[in-house]
Amino acid sequence: MKKLFLSFLMMLTLLPLAAANKYDNPDTIVVSRDGTGEFRTIDEAIEVCRAFMDYSKVIYVKKGVYKEKLILPSWLTNITICGEDRDNTIITWDDHANIKMPVGGLDSEAAVKGKPMGTFRTYTLKVQGSYITLKNITIENNAAKLGQAVSLHLEGDHILVQNCRLLGNQDTVYTGIAHNRSAFYDCYIEGTTDFIFGPGRAWFENCEIRSKANSYITAASSPAGQEYGYVFNKCKLTAEPGVDKVYLGRPWRPYAATLFMNCEMGSHIRPEGWHNWGKQSNEQTARYSEYNNHGAGAATKGRVAWSRQLTKKEAAKVTIKNVFGEEAW
């Protein structure tokens, strides 16, 4: 009898492990709002992923609106979040920088009641892990135009964003860590002011960059020792009706590095192209350049004297391999 009781206890002990091991393999985890998947929320799927995986795992998200504020922590790697349908699989949240913080704050940080949240807590999705792919999905911050409101906040390295919609107003996409790399292919990115910003290295290819207000597209803060910041290749710059005075960028920090090449620029792009953020000293340090762009906003005659037009030889060196290093993407 005693042996039977001990065996029963051992079985009870192993049950949680067996349940956990269901997801401790390269399988796809399905998320669906209607209950037809393994989980109803993306957060639940993230929770069962093993730390520092040396294999790939896919979180497949069926169509629906997922009102979630999500973090992929630094110990999660080799994960793909893939939507069933880009336009109809939506992760959305609505924090903005001027929301008053509750007692205790967010992200385990103490906060005084009534203190504004600030830009860097407003994310809808924060990616701290590396080797992460986001595919066929919409990430949205649908806060009212009351301040900075980040949709996608990136801190990990080697992040691929493919065929996604990134929706917001001010500060839509934040590349938050210097030298870390992210690549955006075939994406739609919209915003009002500085809606692509930060110190990280990022490559944008075949993306539509849509301005929703007369303001600035980029606000890079590349450090002085980082050769590349943002590179836009074969992108299309568009604007909403009535928007006709947009700058390509302004330097959030003095050594901001941004390049537009082989892009189509609409008439909403200002002839000057670039802004110094009200500091003449930035004109000596900011690294703003263009090459082989076309469209009504691409004329080089009126560009500020402190920006550059690359030569063919210089432009030939700007490849994703050279921007990101030897590692294949």
**Active-site amino acid positions:** 194
- The owner of tokens 């919209």 is 190
For residues 14 and 7, the answer to whether their CB atoms sit within 8 Å is no
- Do residues 168 and 195 touch, judged by C-beta distance below 8 A? yes
Contact assessment for residue 201 and residue 223, using Cβ atoms and an 8 Å cutoff: no
Q: Give SS3 for 239.
A: strand
Dihedral sign of CA atoms 41, 44, 46, 49 in order? negative
Contact 143, 96 (CB under 8 A): yes
Helix, strand, coil share (%) of the chain residues, nearest 5? 15, 35, 55
- Smallest CA-to-CA distance from 157 within 199, 124, 218 is with 199
> 94 - beta bridge partners?
none
